[in-house]
Amino acid sequence: MERGDKREAVVDAMLEVVAEYGFHGAPMSLVAERANVGAGTIYRYFEDKDAVIASCYQSIEERCHAAIRERYPEGRPVRERFLHVATVVARHFREAPRDLRFLQQFHDSPYGADVRREKMFGQGDKDLVRELFEEGRTQQILKDLPLPVLFALSFGPLVHICRDHAVGFLELDDRLVEQTVEACWDALKR
C-alpha cells in the first residue's frame, strides 16, 4: 500500500459506513476495520472523527466539481450550460448513491454546520453556477427570483430523484434524467 492510500482508505470507509448506517452506526472501530487499518492509524491522518467526516464531504464535493467542469460548454447559451450542469449532476449522483446518501446525512446534521454556508456544490461550482444563473436572470431568460430560489428549483428535484433512484422508487435512466432536467428548465425560464 502506497503512501496516502491509507488516508484515502479511511475516507472511503467512513463514507461507506455513514452512507449505509448513518452517523450512528459509524464507530471509528468499524471504519478502521473497513479501511483495513488499525484503529489508531486513523489518528495519524486526522485530528479526530469530525475531521474524517469533513474530508468525506470535501472528497464528494471535488468529485462533483470535476464532473461539472468536464466538458463544460463554456461560452454557450445559458440554457445549454444549465442542461449540462443539471444533467451531469443528476447522472453523477445516480452513479454514486453513496456520495448522495452521505451528503444528505451530512448536510443538515450539525456536522455540516460549517459548510452549510457554502451552497449545494461547494465554492468553485457555486461560483460557476451562480454566474450562470445571474447571467440568465440579467438577460431575462430566467425568472426574476432570488438565487437561492433558482438553486432550489434546479437542484432540489434532481437530488430528490437521485435518492428515489437509489432507494428503488424509480428507474432513473438517461431519458428520464433528460426529461426531469427539461422540467427544471421550465421552472426556471421565463
Partner DNA sequence: AATGAATGAGACTTCATTCAT
Partner DNA sequence: CATGAATGAAGTCTCATTCAT
Q: Is there binding between residue 109 and DNA (CB under 7 A)?
A: no
3-state secondary structure 106-148: HHCCHHHHHCCCCCCCHHHHHHHHHHHHHHHHHCCCECCCCHH
Q: Report the distance separating Cα 163 and Cα 28, nearest Å.
A: 26
User: Among DNA, a copy of itself, none, what does residue 56 contact (CB within 5–8 Å per kind)?
Assistant: none
Quick one: which segment of 34-42, 144-152, 163-171, 176-184 binds DNA (CB under 7 A)?
Answer: 34-42
C-beta closer to a copy of itself: residue 58 or 152: 152
Q: Is there binding between residue 114 and DNA (CB under 7 A)?
A: no
The number of CA neighbours under 13 Å toward the Cβ of 39 is 4
Min separation Cβ 71 and a copy of itself, Å: 25
Cα four-point dihedral sign 77, 82, 83, 89: positive
User: Among DNA, a copy of itself, none, what does residue 66 contact (CB within 5–8 Å per kind)?
Assistant: none
Chain residues binding DNA by CB under 7 A are 1, 3, 6, 24-29, 36-45, 48-50
